[in-house]
Amino acid sequence: MSVPQADIERDPVAAASRPRGSTPGGRARAESGWHRALALETREATFLHWIAVGLVVGAIFVPRLLPCVDYPQHLALSDVARRLMNPEAPEHSEYVLNVFTYNGLFHLVVAWISLHLPIELAGRLVVAASLIGMATAVLALLRTLGRPLTYAALFTPVLFSFSLGWGFANYAMASAIAAWASVFVARSAMRPSWGAAAAVAILGFACAFAHVLAMIILCVFAAALALELSWRSEPAQRFGARGWLRVVARTTLALLPLLVGCLYCIAVYHRQYTWDPNMYRDPTIEGSAPPLWQKAAFFGSFALDLFGDATDQIVLWVVIGVMAWAVFAARKGRRGSGEPVDVPPPVVAPFVAMTLAYFATPMVLIGTHLIFPRLGQWLVLAAVLATPRMPDAVASRASRYILRLGLVGGANLFAHCVLFAWETNDASAVIDDLPPGGAATAVIWDPWTIAFRNGTLTHLAAYYGARKHGQWAFAFARYLSVPVRFKPNSQPAWPARGWEFEGEAYDPRCAYARAFPLVIIKAPSDIARDGSGESMVRRLVFKKDAPSVRLLSHHGRFWAFDSSGLPGDGVL
């Protein structure tokens, strides 16, 4: 549907959709529905951008194991949730399903999908949907705010972010929901409607159900966005006390539906705090954070920190350089004259808010680790919205470079996932060889890989729990915030020295090890990968019990043994 020229100044959506230098008719007239929603300024730009996003999404389907640290734990809990849907399942004796939580949407959605598809495919599809949801939300925000749609490519290098690399599947899902909620907050602030308000309420509640931190970020981001857009909606000549009251009223109306999700989070907090007040504090490092200069200097590491070669951070710094150059070029080219009157200016309040939040938030907050780095992706998004439009003289060339940056980011992730698959397919093959329905632990040397850092193989035993529908050591069901939790006294006592992050600490005779007789091992790199290394692996892991364990599988550096029948007289 075409938009009259007189309405362009009042309709930033139409202005953003219209290619620079064209009339509102032509190609835009032929676009409608999802075609228009996914389109950038030109057909070529649309094609290149979605190829880049497709590379990011497609990358997670390359390896058999995902390069996301905590992801297998959430996948295995989802499989338990699926089994608990059967009232006669034996898992009811060990687990309880609690849907009244703010960290459970991912588990329940994956559990429901896995009723119809294999659990691992279900998990990948939900992760893929989160990535696509975030990418489409960024484009929708740019369109709603009248910003250059090509700038969506500036976000592509952080689409697979620090948070997803650490396997925070609930948070990644909630971030996509929060981004879409921000779209409707923006629309409500510019043009209030019952439909936009309902969308904000529904998405806000879904975000709260998915992850409480994402809900907090949504409130901060949306508040800054709504305030700036409400202020712009009041004509300058009308400003005064009544004008400011209208700004406050419009902002409040845009944000009020988020109260549904906020109240839900408060109710969950009060219930879980009663269960265990200590779960929300870490006395040793609560509130700790690196110095502000490190947060700035190592922003690339905090926002991504995915690949061992740091090429992801290099691409991000180039993106930051492009955005900084756009600010310089806009100032130099226009000498303070501002953008054309028919194009909405950059939106800067979310950038200010997220910058302050990034520098003010500690690493450990309310007993939860790795907090402020999760804000890096949102800070990049806010910077994209605040980036000025390129001057006419360089706009076309700059757009091509920006789109190529997005392609480089997507291709880089895809290539690293190919390498990760080559490194970890042996681990997947070992899990395939194990009997179903058992109880497994993992003893891992070098949990990182060449392709990805941060211990992507730490929770390898959880893949057994998901794929073979069994039990696994060090399960996240011990945390009260997830929907699948252990019943009291359903688990053996924790070992005095756990081996989840330190393979050398494994004691095959301790009570906890005896509860998980299937032992998956990633051997040190100096042990032979052929059959001649078996005796060394046996002695290294099982010590004096080396002759008593039975080999189940061996592929490359990965081994699996059955340690059933060993004495349980080790140190607890």
Would you place residue 42 in the very low, low, confident or very high pLDDT band (cuts 50, 70, 90)? very high
Distance between alpha carbon 156 and the CA centroid of its chain, in Å?
13
Q: Residue ranges of the alpha helices (H) in 434-559?
A: 460-467, 511-514, 534-542
User: How far apart are the C-alpha atoms of 509 and 526, rounded to whole Å?
Assistant: 26
Q: What digits encode the pLDDT tens for the residues 352-377?
A: 999 999 999 998 877 778 899 999 99
CA dist., res. 533 & res. 515, Å (int): 26
Q: Report residue 486: phi and psi, to 5°.
A: -70, 145
Nearest residue to 442 (alpha-carbon basis) of 494, 495, 513: 513
Report the share of the chain in percent with pLDDT over 70: 89
**3-class DSSP state for residue 552?**
strand
Instruction: Please report the pLDDT score of residue 554 as a whole number.
Output: 97
| Secondary structure (DSSP) of 297-347 | HTHHHHHT--BTT-HHHHHHHHHHHHHHHHHHHHHHHHTT--S-TTSPPP-
Of residues 305 and 11, the one with the higher pLDDT is 305
Taking residues 141-154, report their average pLDDT.
96
Mean pLDDT of the 410-438 span: 97
Of the ranges 4-8, 21-25, 203-207, the best mean pLDDT one: 203-207
Is the CB of residue 514 less than 8 Å from the CB of residue 556? no
Q: Which residues contact 240 (CB under 8 A, 6 or more apart)?
A: none
User: How many CA atoms does the CB half-sphere of 367 hold within 13 Å?
Assistant: 11
Supply the pLDDT for residue 471: 95
Residue 214 has pLDDT above 60, yes or no: yes
CA distance 456 to 507: 23
User: What's the CA dihedral at 138, 149, 125, 216 to 10 degrees?
Assistant: 0
For the cut 90, the answer to whether the pLDDT of residue 459 exceeds it is yes
For the stretch 551-570, pLDDT in tens is: 999 999 999 999 999 998 87
Contact in structure between 63 and 425 (CB atoms under 8 Å) = yes
Is 26 a residue whose pLDDT tops 80? no
Give residue-wise pLDDT tens across range 99-114.
Answer: 999 899 999 999 999 9
- The CB density around residue 51, as the number of other CB atoms within 10 Å, is 15
pLDDT the model gives residue 24: 40
Q: Tokens 């659990």 correspond to what residue?
A: 119
146 contacts 13 by C-beta, under 8 angstroms: yes
Contact 158, 380 (CB under 8 A): yes
Question: Of residues 482 and 333, which shows the higher confidence score?
Answer: 482
Per-residue pLDDT averaged across 43-49, rounded? 95
pTM of the shown model: 0.91
What integer is the mean pLDDT of 219-228? 96
pLDDT grade for 335, boundaries at 50, 70 and 90: low
Proportion of the chain above pLDDT 90, given as a percent: 74
Out of 296-305, 491-500, 534-543, pick the least confident: 491-500
Element (H, E) at 471: strand 471-472
Q: What is the mean pLDDT of residues 378-406?
A: 92
Name which of 524, 552, 547 is nearest 440 in CA terms. Answer: 552
* In the predicted structure, residue 30 carries a pLDDT above the cut 90: no
If you average pLDDT over residues 273-302, what whole number do you get?
82
Mean pLDDT in the chain? Answer: 89
